[in-house]
Structure 1
Amino acid sequence: MPIESLLILIIVGAVAGWLAGVIVKGFGFGLVGNIVVGIIGALIATWLFPRLGVSIGGGIVSAIISATLGAVILLFLISLVRRA
């Protein structure tokens, strides 16, 4: 993986994790935690959205949007597990 791709992945993950933490109140994981949540959210979105027939488009903005939606799903699932 080229260094540019890795930097973009980290930036998208950080932004998506932070946005998801803002949307789902009560979740703040710090910079590294937000990056991890954003990257896992991107993986969830990459797996789930095509199966649902959802296509957001291409580019960095759509990558941030889909990663944020995936991260929100992840944080929602984490909150369900914490309640149980």
Structure 2
Amino acid sequence: MGLILGLFIGGLAGWIAGKLMKGQGFGLLGNILLGLVGGFFGGLLFRLLGLAATGVIGSLIMSTIGAILLIVIVRKVNGKQ
């Protein structure tokens, strides 16, 4: 059940990040991957700042913030604004 919930949160976080960053989404697998990697980056960022994300909503927020950060980094590296 945890794996399915993680994939769902990852997909939702990736989709939300794509919409907030004026994108059109990245497809189902792209959103899931973006959300999962974003969750990793968000977890690192939250730990560095001394914050904790608990529960489903906290995980979704943390993953979304991490996915947005990942999109910003990729756009800067590719030279797109």
Q: Normalization by structure 1: what TM-score?
A: 0.88
- Counting aligned pairs with the same residue, the percent is 36
Root mean square deviation of aligned Cα: 1.3
Runs of 4+ in structure 1 deviating by more than 4 angstroms, as ranges, are none
1:48 pairs, out of 45, 48, 54, with: 45
The 5 A counterparts of 1:53-72 are: 53-55=50-52, 57-72=53-68
2:15 is aligned with 1:18: yes
Number of aligned residue pairs:
80
Q: Normalization by structure 2: what TM-score?
A: 0.91
Amino acid at match of 2:70: L
Amino acid at match of 1:58: T
1:29 corresponds in structure 2 to 26
1:78 corresponds in structure 2 to 74
Amino acid at match of 1:43: F
Which ranges in structure 2 are unaligned for 5 or more consecutive residues?
Answer: none
Q: Kindly provide the CA deviation profile for residues 34-61 of structure 1, in whole angstroms up to 9, marking residues without a partner as x.
A: 0000000000011121111223x41101
